[in-house]
A and B are shown apart, each in its own frame.
Chain A
């Protein structure tokens, strides 16, 4: 109120607070853990799984194909697989639910729109087998390859783009080894090798996790 009801002020206050900027890691903080296992005193950040719609929209954003236009009619069930509209505009009902979104826990009317944060193998299948992710992987890899042919640079940029993280030496080394293994698969091309790498990063735990 004192700041003219500024939302910006409020957001800044929240995101610059000590609590908000805490790490979600418990490394070296076993003592805190012993005292307050449920983190009731907010001595660390709670890692969060991003919501179903955000998972899909984030994949499309990275691929550069998300249609960010606002308003208009909702997308019916049979058009959703091809659609690049934001997930917000997807029609869903008690009977018809988008199978990709549902597996990442939808907001349910009967539960006051609360969402669970389940972790089930079906999510791994959706992220590793869906056309959505496989198509996006190829597009993301293409864009990255346009600006660099150097493997190391490609790996670093892919990590930054997909996971918002700079890879450490272990991550670079294992990524290089995987790229070499993929190149040894006779049917693979340079494009498919790089798409497969991006696909692996989209399946990294931290792609769907906020820390």
Chain B
């Protein structure tokens, strides 16, 4: 194959190209045909949904590390009943049938992500909440009170039992496949903005190493813009540190814009340049809009209390969720909030001391999340805002060490609320020990498809030339939970 990118071709080069070209001829012809077929049909998205949307905004809450599904939204009393017995000795031994374990794709040769045989009892109680009577563990009493707003999916599965599954939950692909655009990036790419003064895709909270970016092949313009929720210092370099008249600054911004656009003619299709032009336009306006979003002083004391801002353990997450509601009010499309992403594996990764770990983490998120749901409902925003509560995988029914659970990919729970979904429903189920998703099984991209459907987007219409996606990348919307 020859790739021409220099004006002068030497004799040697010419001969080389001829030789190398022979093997490439057939392939070239093949690829050219393919690219022609795509060229005639493909147009970039115009920012309008493909179907009438039911939801306008998404608040994506991601619990890094892997929340125990049995000790959150899918309680399994059989674990306590048969505690101490190995799975092979228990009535549930067919869970370990090698054929049923075959979906696991990758085993990292370390101490984690292994089969854990001895059943480990539930570390917390649970009860039924609301009219729906959905069972929720005692670690999430506030969310339990809001259970009639939730659509709980108890039959999730994924393929990789290491924390690369975090990125996998966002993009549908494990990092070993390469880096692929995340759901938020697709939404950002597919839909127009509702507020020119703020980024339409925002990320709050620390993001673990494998999951720092979003746009990937769509380009850095579709990455989430990270925002901080410190009202004292919402934005570094938020105003000029030396006297600089606004008028003079905006003349300069115009010049920068013109010069960069001009460079874009010499360097077309440079995604970084396009992203930089966009980032300058946004930065100029964010100087005003971001401090305004992060100024919570005008929120009532009742609102502060609702999100738990008066309580130390949940203050940080509470602030982040209140910021999310304020961003939704201002038209930000997709707000991605990462909990516990400060460490490489994630805060919920309870290989040991599960009880301490989940007690502490649930205390940080439970009240703020419930507060967010109530607040959105009170303001009439829950119908058009889709809230997602997700994690990369569940945890093993068996014990790891004395008091922990390992990564578990065969069955785990995720819930969604609002955005035109059914309320107070459970969809899918795991077996009696929470090992396998057995009913209405869903891979992570089914969550993506459901959200895109509510936003009125069709992921197949967003595909770009040269980037064929597989069926599993698109997923299937979970129709059963759509109202």
Residue ranges of A at the interface with B (Cβ–Cβ < 8 Å) = 18, 21-27, 29, 31-38, 41-44, 47, 49, 99-100, 103, 108, 110-111, 116-126, 128-131, 134-135, 170-171, 174-175, 178, 181-182, 185, 187-188, 192, 196-197, 199-200, 203-206, 209, 211
- Please state if A119 and B276 are interface contacts (CB–CB under 8 Å): yes
Residue of A nearest to B28 (CB): A35
Verify if B282 is at the interface (C-beta below 8 Å from A).
yes
A-B contact pairs, 20 of them (CB 8 A): A26-B269, A26-B270, A29-B4, A34-B31, A34-B32, A34-B465, A35-B35, A37-B217, A100-B237, A111-B209, A120-B223, A121-B199, A124-B282, A124-B284, A126-B237, A129-B287, A175-B255, A187-B248, A192-B248, A204-B256
* Given the contacts A122-B226, A130-B241, A205-B276, A29 and B5 also touching, CB distance less than 8 Å: yes
Q: Tell me the bound Cα distance from A77 to B244 in angstroms.
A: 26
Verify if B225 is at the interface (C-beta below 8 Å from A).
yes
* Given the contacts A22-B6, A125-B287, A204 and B31 also touching, CB distance less than 8 Å: no
- Name the prevailing secondary structure of the A interface residues: helix
Among B223, B252, B279, B283, which residue has its beta carbon within 8 angstroms of that of A200?
B252
Q: Tell me the bound Cα distance from A170 to B238 in angstroms.
A: 32
Q: 1/0 per position for B430-467, CB-CB distance to A under 8 A?
A: 00000000000000000000000000000000000111
Among A44, A124, A178, which residue has its beta carbon within 8 angstroms of that of B283?
A124
Residue of A nearest to B467 (CB): A37
* Given the contacts A29-B4, A128-B283, A204-B259, A181 and B251 also touching, CB distance less than 8 Å: yes
Stretch of B260-268, B313-321, B385-393 with 4 or more beta carbons under 8 angstroms from chain A: B260-268
Q: 1/0 per position for B276-296, CB-CB distance to A under 8 A?
A: 110110111011000000000
Q: Report the minimum CB–CB distance from A10 to chain B (whole Å).
A: 22
| A26 surroundings in chain B (CB, below 8 A) | 267-270
| A29 surroundings in chain B (CB, below 8 A) | 3-5
Interface residues on B, range: 35 or more
Q: Tell me the bound Cα distance from A37 to B31 in angstroms.
A: 12
Given A128-B284, A131-B242, A134-B241, 13 further pairs, Cβ under 8 A: A27-B266, A33-B269, A37-B467, A99-B236, A121-B279, A122-B236, A123-B279, A125-B236, A174-B255, A196-B252, A200-B256, A203-B280, A209-B272
Q: Which has the most chain A C-beta neighbours within 10 Å: B13, B238, B273, B282?
A: B273
Q: Tell me the bound Cα distance from A196 to B35 in angstroms.
A: 46
Residue of B nearest to A39 (CB): B3
* Given the contacts A35-B1, A37-B466, A125 and B286 also touching, CB distance less than 8 Å: yes
Total A-B residue contacts, Cβ distance less than 8 Å: 192
Verify if B145 is at the interface (C-beta below 8 Å from A).
no
| B272 surroundings in chain A (CB, below 8 A) | 47, 49, 117, 119, 205, 209
| B254 surroundings in chain A (CB, below 8 A) | 178
Q: Which has the most chain A C-beta neighbours within 10 Å: B39, B260, B266, B283?
A: B283
| B225 surroundings in chain A (CB, below 8 A) | 120-122
Q: Tell me the bound Cα distance from A169 to B442 in angstroms.
A: 59
- Please state if B260 and A204 are interface contacts (CB–CB under 8 Å): yes
| A18 surroundings in chain B (CB, below 8 A) | 6, 13
Q: 1/0 per position for B205-241, CB-CB distance to A under 8 A?
A: 0000100110001001101011000000001111111
- Name the prevailing secondary structure of the B interface residues: helix
Verify if B245 is at the interface (C-beta below 8 Å from A).
yes
Q: Which has the most chain B C-beta neighbours within 10 Å: A35, A100, A209?
A: A35
Among B252, B255, B267, B466, which residue has its beta carbon within 8 angstroms of that of A24?
B267
Q: Tell me the bound Cα distance from A103 to B279 in angstroms.
A: 13
Q: Tell me the bound Cα distance from A196 to B240 in angstroms.
A: 13
| B467 surroundings in chain A (CB, below 8 A) | 37
| A32 surroundings in chain B (CB, below 8 A) | 3-5
Q: Tell me the bound Cα distance from A24 to B273 in angstroms.
A: 12
Verify if B26 is at the interface (C-beta below 8 Å from A).
no
Residue of A nearest to B249 (CB): A128
* Given the contacts A34-B35, A36-B3, A122 and B209 also touching, CB distance less than 8 Å: no
- Please state if A196 and B237 are interface contacts (CB–CB under 8 Å): no
Among A36, A120, A187, A203, which residue has its beta carbon within 8 angstroms of that of B256?
A203
- Please state if B237 and A122 are interface contacts (CB–CB under 8 Å): yes
Q: Report the minimum CB–CB distance from A189 to chain B (whole Å).
A: 11
Q: Which has the most chain B C-beta neighbours within 10 Å: A18, A120, A205?
A: A205
Q: Tell me the bound Cα distance from A60 to B279 in angstroms.
A: 24
| A192 surroundings in chain B (CB, below 8 A) | 248
Residue of A nearest to B250 (CB): A181
- Please state if A174 and B259 are interface contacts (CB–CB under 8 Å): yes
- Please state if B241 and A129 are interface contacts (CB–CB under 8 Å): yes
Residue of B nearest to A105 (CB): B212
Q: Tell me the bound Cα distance from A55 to B28 in angstroms.
A: 41
Q: Tell me the bound Cα distance from A23 to B269 in angstroms.
A: 13
Residue of A nearest to B251 (CB): A181
| A123 surroundings in chain B (CB, below 8 A) | 279, 283
- Please state if A129 and B260 are interface contacts (CB–CB under 8 Å): no
| A178 surroundings in chain B (CB, below 8 A) | 251-252, 254-255
Among B32, B244, B247, B282, which residue has its beta carbon within 8 angstroms of that of A121?
B282
* Given the contacts A129-B241, A134-B241, A120 and B252 also touching, CB distance less than 8 Å: no
| A181 surroundings in chain B (CB, below 8 A) | 251
- Please state if B3 and A27 are interface contacts (CB–CB under 8 Å): no
- Please state if A35 and B31 are interface contacts (CB–CB under 8 Å): yes
* Given the contacts A25-B267, A26-B269, A32-B5, A121 and B249 also touching, CB distance less than 8 Å: no
- Please state if A185 and B262 are interface contacts (CB–CB under 8 Å): no
Q: Report the minimum CB–CB distance from B483 to chain A (whole Å).
A: 37
| A206 surroundings in chain B (CB, below 8 A) | 263
The 9 residue pairs across chains A and B that have the minimum distance between CB atoms? A43-B3, A124-B283, A121-B283, A34-B35, A131-B241, A125-B237, A134-B242, A178-B255, A129-B237
Q: Which has the most chain A C-beta neighbours within 10 Å: B5, B244, B252?
A: B5
